[in-house]
Amino acid sequence: MKHFAYLLPVCCLLFAACRKDSPATEIIPAPRSVKAGQGTFDLGGGIRIAPADPLLRPAADYLAQLLREENVAAAQDAGNANLSLELDPRLPQQGYTLKITPARIELRGGSCEGVVSAAASLRQLLWAGKGSLPALEIDDAPRFAWRGFMLDVARHFFTKEEVMSLTDRLACYKFNRLHLHLTDDQGWRIEIKRYPLLTRRGAWRTANKHDSLCLRRAADERDPKFLLPEKNIRREQGGIRYGGYYTQDDIREIVAYAAQRGIEVIPEIDLPGHSLAAIGCYPQLACDGRGGWGKHFSTPLCIGRDSTIAFCKNVLTELFDLFPSQYVHIGGDEVERTPWETCPDCQRRIRAEKLEGAGELQAWFTRETEQFLAAHGKTLLGWDEITEDGLTPQSAVMWWRSWMPSTLTAALQNGHRVIESPSEFLYLNGELDRNTLGKVYGWEPLPESLRAWEEGLLGIQANMWTEDVPTADAAGERLFPRLLAVAETAWSAPEKRDFTDFRRRLPLHLHQLERAGWNYRLDDVEGICDDNVFIGAATVRLLPPESAELYYTLDGTVPDTASQRYTAPFSITDSCTLTLRCYNRRGVAAEIRRASFRPTRYAEPSADAGNLQNGLLVRWYDYDGDNCADIDEAPLQANFITDSVVIPDGVTGNIGLICDGYIDIPADGIYSFYTYSDDGSTLAIDGRTVVDNDGLHSRTERSGQAALRRGVHSFSLRYFDTNGGVLEAGIIDSEGRRIPFSSRMLKH
């Protein structure tokens, strides 16, 4: 990232001008076109709604509810309306216009979904307004038809009310698909009347490894959002069981609630793998009559038996009456096929269908399921493993394996409609840091390499897997505000996306999340590195988020609200571990951050540097290990000279880099450094490790300090990569800005 301080005043003036000319600049996702009008619409007299088409009455009811939630009197009144809802066939199907004048408000959509999207924009204007709405006209349409979110309710269960509350948040940001992951090894969450044991037994479990992980974290971090909710616990004579499920009436209620908000609910029944919850209820579904765990994944259904195929079809048939959605997701991922290799029934099926082994047996099952769904007017959707199953182009593929881009292009080349859901960017259950929001926002679903298949790209979807997410507060911290970034990527044209402006718009939306009872991730506390040094004493000046209270300890213990509250800078004179934690206005704890402090002396500059040139000497090794220390034990591939810390052009495959040289320090001082990498990186100055970002991991930033005298100091950065390909390093200035190393600073 380049930093141009002299542009800051100009940018501020430009933003001020945009705000003046475009009163809807707080809206997320950013609209296609906003034109300011003259005057305002006064809300004090109430809103009288008139839907021009009977199809829009549910949307009118929904809009009236939204208005009342904002303390605006609202009712349907065709005879004296000042707000109209209309279908306009001239608009894109999911597009809309919203026109506000001092006299009336008009919402038009190319479909009912388009009108609901107009209502979402109106709702956000109500958040920003104070008794009136600015006159304006918005003309808007989505970039992608599928704007989805998946919630895993199998690993940890979320109640009907929690799902509906989340659905309401999705509607605010123009998502139009809610994918429910209803079954997995850890639980079966939907009532199937033909197989009552699936919920009577399969929806409940004794504590498993995921539960233990959450409970241990709740205890270690003194954080109740990782406790298993009491409402999901059933006490029986044999002990405590965790779980829950949706009755069919619950499902109908969720589906209707979502439909009124323009959202289609997509069910997922994971087949033929991830099925231990079903096997535990009906053991005859497994090849060995027991089920269990194989080398990599759980043992699958025995799809060599006709009775198992009948079970699958019977379950899917009950879904058809509950979910009007076009798509039914069948999973199809991570199947342990080894039991089929020795199962007589599966081997009999392989011979009868003239298949070439267990891999083709799964492909046969997927094709059978595709035909069954098609016969009932439904379309098969599955994770990208199904790309290899010889399906017709009518089926859709959800690409998730970001380390296997070949499966994405293969699905598009085969004519499938594809939803992009790459784990690297859109799996929102991962741990968070200061860079994850920008990482999600910066992802581009349609790079130049995919433009030829643009018509096959149906849209994008974010996913929340819940192995270590047992509560709504834990989910909210992972989801928000990153889910808003996904919304803007899914809806807004590339030229309308700007991360700086997105950050500017966020505070209004974070306040509304708080108001709705949803947790969100607080910004990082600024002012420190992960590893800090001082000479004599350190004055610690912390910058906590505005909406939080910050507590800390100096002895390594976990802080809570009984610990020291940060109110002013303080001094540190001895080695210690500073542990920080913020609490939001609802008293919900944020993640814990730890920073080390230690006294040091100034490091003297190198005396034998000699004549130096700009840039670094870089050695590339064919390294496939898991730590930076062993890179130079691998075969050397090539040498380079680079202007800065970068992965040189042409470096691919197994990557181990050692970047050696000197850094030119302009004045005595304590300097802060960082590396941001996927996978590991380390930075040493004068032979001492300053930044330790080692090990296998996704994109992660670590930072550290060194006390350096003016002059040149020896510099060595090591980096290895398995499939991430991300490396950045530089200095952190006094304002907390990350400034990548330049060629003028680095010498060799």
Among all residues, which ones are annotated catalytic?
A: 334
CA separation for the pair 492, 497 (Å, rounded): 7
Distance of alpha carbon 419 from alpha carbon 426, whole angstroms: 12
The backbone torsions φ and ψ at residue 369, rounded to the nearest 5 degrees and listed phi first, read: -65, -40
Question: Any idea which residue has 């500059």 for tokens?
Answer: 605
Question: In the block, which residue shows the tokens 């003239």?
Answer: 354
DSSP 672: E
| Cβ proximity of 487 and 446 under 8 Å | no
Q: How many residues does the chain have?
A: 748
What string of H, E and C letters represents the secondary structure of 107-133? Answer: EEECCHHHHHHHHHHHHHHHHHCCCEE
Cα within 13 Å of Cα(55), Cβ side: 13
Can you tell me which residue has the tokens 């595709």? 370
Unique residue bearing structure tokens 């002396």: 601
What is the rounded CA–CA span in Å between residue 580 and residue 578?
Answer: 7
CA distance 628 to 682: 7
CA angle at residue 327 from 324 to 331, to 5 degrees?
125
Q: What contacts 665, CB < 8 A, 6 or more positions away?
A: 605, 671, 708, 709, 710, 711, 712, 713
Q: What is the DSSP string of 423-488?
A: HHHHBTTS---TTHHHHHHH--SS-GGGGGGGGGEEEEEEEE--TT--SHHHHHHHHTTHHHHHHH
Per DSSP, the three-state class of 527 is: coil
Q: What HEC string does 308-329 produce?
A: HHHHHHHHHHHHHHHCCCCEEE
